[in-house]
Amino acid sequence: MDKAIVIEHLSKRYKNNRGIDDICLEVDKGDIFGFLGPNGAGKTTAMKIMTGLMQPDHGDVRIGGFSILEDYEKAMQQVGCIIESVAPVPYLTAEENMKMCARFYRNIDDKQIDWCLESTGLLPYKKEKTRNYSLGMKQRMGLAMAMVSDPEILILDEPLNGLDVEGMVEMRNLILRLAKERGTTFFISSHLIHDVELTCNKIGILYEGKLLDVRSTEDILKEYASLENYYLSEVDLSVKS
Amino acid sequence: MSSLRAAYINEIYKLSKRKKLMVSCVLSVAAVLVAALIVGVANNFMGIRITGESEFSILVLSVLNYTLIPLFTIFICIDMVGGEFSNQTMKMVLTRPVSRIKVYLSKAMAAATFIIVNLLFIMVTSLIISLFIKGTLAGIGRIFIAYVASFFPLFVFALFTMIISTVFRGTGSAFFLSILCFLLCNVLGLFFSQLQSFLFTTAFNWYTLFLGSYINFHKIFRMFMILAGLGLMFFGIGSYLFDRKNL
């Protein structure tokens, strides 16, 4: 199967000795990959490197076959992302923010922008300045901006942060719809294990900077009662060893 | 090139939506009006002749070149680099299919555009006032050359400010350090004449080289090469630091 994302021996160590250590991972096209781990495990670090916001100490990431270190523009042409908090330009409206993002791609018209805003429930507020948006609305805005180019791959770091229950369900349904209808590949980090179980078809567990295991959700649920049980047993094994 | 174009248009768009641009325009006009008032009072009521027919615009330039224009340039450069790092909006640009060098170049181009617009605005305003005061636009060619020449040291200063803004995350510290460096370079230039050739602030009045009856092309060329060298060096350092910066 074609690989959407290939992570090769990725390492990054901070001064406090935390970070990620020799991560190797492959995500197939069309997968919804869930990156699970506690706070401080290194999920955001890995995702920042994947999107070029941070330089790795070692290793590389290939997106759609292009190296993020050598062919950044080509690699990012097919990627949309939310990394950590979403920060649209506060003194611009949602529509203006979307147009700024759209300028980096070809053939993105107002229809596409409206579709993204409608999908995330922001169309009625598109003329409002984003400084007036709530945390949940900013998170939706982040997803709309990530979707603007109709990318093949969406890298989402804690996409459900700040959303209410209704918003979480809508976001989950949107992810599933995009994967099904458009074949979008997702790489999602979260510590909300229940949502990962409901959304992702493949899971990777990151603990203290190390990738413990990668398995399909189907296989995990055959063996364990829930994803939570699997996660706890993997972490427990890691602590013991 | 399309990604550079997109990044540049975005920078200009953001700049046009900021209140700082409007404030800089209003303050520039106010400064020119105050200068006109002082010149008018001195000429008519005190019997002191401060400027000749064509020199009002040059007088305005010589004052604003060391005060308001560098100050606005600092504001804009820090806003475009340090400001975007601190409020996280930089991520929105850096996660698009555009390399960091192009993002940095687009910001430098936007800073250059801002300086040109600011100078143009001041020049036109001062020329209009000259027209009202004297009823003539004598020496407009020399005035135009002086304003064009003023762009180069200001742009070098903008590139210098962008380095400071890349290094410091806080906009406040970057602002004060930029002001401090500007003042320090001016003071050093006053007391150590041998350093003058290497201080970009010395070049802030290099437009005077174009205004005399004898034009020293050798000196102009030397100064231009120094400015070009400093500009390239500052851009190189700034873009390297910008490229290596982890978010």
DSSP codes joined into one string, A72-85: HHHHHTTEEEE-SS
Q: Which CATH architecture has domain A1-78+153-162+189-241?
A: 3-Layer(aba) Sandwich (3.40)
CB atoms within 10 A of CB A204: 23
Do the bridges between strand A3-13 and strand A19-28 make them parallel or antiparallel, or are there none, so unpaired?
antiparallel
- pLDDT average, residue stretch B160-177: 91
In A64-183 the beta strands, taken as DSSP E runs, fall at 66-67, 79-82, 153-157
What is the pLDDT, as a whole number, of residue B54? Answer: 57
At which residue do the structure tokens 């303050």 appear?
Answer: B27
Residues 12-51 in B contacting A (C-alpha not used; CB under 8 Å): 13-14, 17-18
**A69 in contact with B at a CB cutoff of 8 Å?**
no
Nearest to B6 among A81, A84, A104 (CB): A104
B169-186: average pLDDT: 90
C-alpha A71 chain-centroid distance? 20
Percent pLDDT > 70 in chain A is: 100
* Minimum distance, in Å, between the CA of residue A100 and any CA atom of chain B: 6
**Average pLDDT, integer, range B219-245:** 94
Q: What is the DSSP letter of A91?
A: T
Question: Which chain A residues are Cβ-neighbours of B83 within 8 angstroms?
Answer: none
CB neighbours of residue B236 within 10 Å? 12
CB A165 within 8 A of CB A137: no
Alpha carbon of A58: minimum distance to chain B alpha carbons (Å)? 15
Q: How far is B237 from chain A (nearest CA, A)?
A: 18
In this prediction, residue B159 has a pLDDT band, given cuts at 50, 70 and 90, of very high
Average pLDDT over residues B134-147: 83
Cβ within 8 Å, pair A100-B13: yes
Domain boundaries, chain A: 1-78+153-162+189-241
Q: How far is CA A23 from the centre of its chain?
A: 17
Helix (H, G, I), strand (E, B) or coil at A131: helix
Q: What is the complex's ipTM, to 2 decimals?
A: 0.91
Give Cβ neighbours of residue B196 (< 8 Å, ≥ 6 apart): B189, B202
Q: Which of B9, B88, B99 sits opposite A103 (nearest CB)?
A: B9
Which band of pLDDT confidence, cut at 50, 70 and 90, is reported for residue B151? Answer: very high
What pLDDT score does A1 carry?
57
Which stretches of chain B are DSSP H helices?
2-17, 19-44, 56-64, 68-78, 84-86, 90-94, 100-134, 140-167, 171-191, 217-244
* Torsion angles phi and psi, residue A64, rounded to 5: 55, 30
pLDDT exceeds 70 at position A171 = yes
Cβ distance of B96 and A104 shorter than 8 Å: yes
Whether A105 and chain B come into contact, CB under 8 Å, resolves to: yes
Evaluate if residue B218 carries a pLDDT over 70.
Answer: yes
Candidates B13, B91, B98; nearest CB to A87:
B91
Q: What are phi and psi of A78, to 5 degrees?
A: -105, 15
- Closest Cα in chain A, distance from residue B85 (Å): 11
Listed in order, strand segments (DSSP E) in chain A are: 3-13, 19-28, 32-36, 58-63, 66-67, 79-82, 153-157, 185-190, 202-207, 210-216
Q: Does B95 touch chain A (CB under 8 A)?
A: yes
pLDDT of residue A88 exceeding 80: yes
- Alpha-carbon distance A237 to nearest alpha carbon in chain B (angstroms): 33
**Would you kindly state where each structural domain of chain B is located, as residue ranges?**
2-244
pLDDT in tens, A20-60: 999 999 999 999 999 998 888 899 999 999 999 999 999 99
Quick one: pLDDT band at residue A200, thresholds 50, 70, 90? very high
Per-residue pLDDT band at B213 (split at 50, 70, 90) = confident
Q: Tell me which chain B residues have a C-beta less than 8 angstroms from the C-beta of A72.
A: 97, 99
Q: What is the rounded average pLDDT of the residues B89-117?
A: 95
Preferred mutation among B91, B100, B241 to probe A, highest tally of A CBs within 10 A: B91
The predicted pLDDT at position B247 comes to 82
